[in-house]
Structure formats: structure tokens, C-alpha cells
Structure 1
Amino acid sequence: MARLSVFSSSFLWLLLFFNVCKGKDWCLVSPSVPESEMKTYLIEGCARLDCSAIKPGGDCYEPNLIKSHLNYALSNYYRKTNECPAIAIKTLTDPSYGKCKYP
């Protein structure tokens, strides 16, 4: 029984490792970041990145919330640079929804 437990634990870590290495992780804003700081990061990020998906009419515009838009921008930045800024956390849960596909 202990052998099965060790195998299961090793398998889960291996699966986690492969998901992270295959780009199956995302960078999302930390819950403790104030909205005023989120706005600054969003403006600066979209000055350097393609943010058309979070503009009116874009697939990720709704919900029209700063946090939601910043999550998209951070994941876009992370995918292009492999850097997750200090205001963000990495997650293995895909934040995509409906037509909105996170990078």
C-alpha cells in the first residue's frame, strides 16, 4: 500500500512538472494588489503588448473589470517573456472562459 502511495505522489509531481514545462501555467494578479496599482500595470502592459482581446468587442472584454483585463495582460506578458511580475502568481488552472482564450 505504501508503494502505491509513493508511486501516486511521484506521478502527480511528474504530471505537474510536465504541465509547467509545456506552458500549461498562467500568470494572474495576486489578490492583495490594490486596484489603483492594477490600473498602472494594465496601462503599461498594454502599451507594449497586443491587448485587442480585452478592448471593447474583444473576446476577453467581458467582464469589463480591471482585474480580469490585467489577468489577461499578465498571462500574455508571461507567455512572451517567461516572466511573471512580482504583483502576480502562477497558476496551473486555465483562466480561459467562453470565447476568451488566455495565452
Structure 2
Amino acid sequence: MAKPSVPDPIMQEAMNYACGSGADCDSIQPGGPCFQPDTVFAHASYAFNSYWQRTKSAGGSCSFGGTAILVTVDPSEYSITSTPCPVLQ
């Protein structure tokens, strides 16, 4: 997931990399099921997870230049939205 202390412009750059390098970012586009909450942090967390799930078997990295952290608990379970976006499996 995205590291909360990273400034939005840097997070956006890392998210752009993830989305352009294998992550499925359709769900975080306007109208997508994971667009809300509409924050760089939430969208980057989704993109980073998507990238990791799709590339880990081929040796994909998951730090995104220090903008991401590994978590052991599904953060969507603690979402403040009424319908949390599921973490990709």
C-alpha cells in the first residue's frame, strides 16, 4: 500500500509508473468501482497492489522507490466507505 508520509506529487509519479507497467488501474478511474475515496493515497495503494499481484511471480518489485509499504492485513477491511474496494488476489 502507499506510504502515508509520501507527498502527493511523488505518490502520483509512482502510481503513474505502476499503472503504465502492469497494474490494472481501470477500477480507480472515474466511475470505476474503486474510484472512491478519490485520493492519491487510495488510488496509489490500489495501483501498487495490482502491480504487485500481477508481477510478483516474475520478480516484480513492490517498493516503488520508497513510496509503498508491505502490509499483512487487508487495508480495505478498515475502509471508511460503505463498500470497500477488495484487494486483488
TM-score by length of 2: 0.74
C-alpha RMSD over aligned residues: 1.5
Q: Equivalent residue for 2:69?
A: 89
Q: Which has the higher helix share?
A: 1
- 1:66 equivalent in alignment to 2:46: no
Q: Is the 8 A contact 1:29 1:87 kept in 2?
A: yes
Gapped runs of 5+ residues in structure 2?
A: none
Q: Is the 8 A contact 1:94 1:102 kept in 2?
A: yes
1:99 Cα deviation from its structure 2 partner? 5.1
For residues 31 and 100 of structure 1, the distance between their equivalents in structure 2, rounded to whole angstroms, comes to: 18
- 1:43 equivalent in alignment to 2:35: no
For residues 50 and 71 of structure 1, the distance between their equivalents in structure 2, rounded to whole angstroms, comes to: 12
- 1:76 corresponds, among 46, 50, 53, to 50
Q: Is the 8 A contact 2:2 2:45 kept in 1?
A: yes
Identity %: 34
Q: Is the 8 A contact 1:59 1:99 kept in 2?
A: no
Larger Rg: 1
1:84 Cα deviation from its structure 2 partner? 1.4
Gapped runs of 5+ residues in structure 1?
A: 1-27
Number of positions where the alignment pairs a residue of Structure 1 with one of Structure 2: 76
For residues 9 and 84 of structure 2, the distance between their equivalents in structure 1, rounded to whole angstroms, comes to: 28
For residues 51 and 24 of structure 2, the distance between their equivalents in structure 1, rounded to whole angstroms, comes to: 9
Q: Is the 8 A contact 2:14 2:67 kept in 1?
A: no
Q: Which has the higher strand share?
A: 1
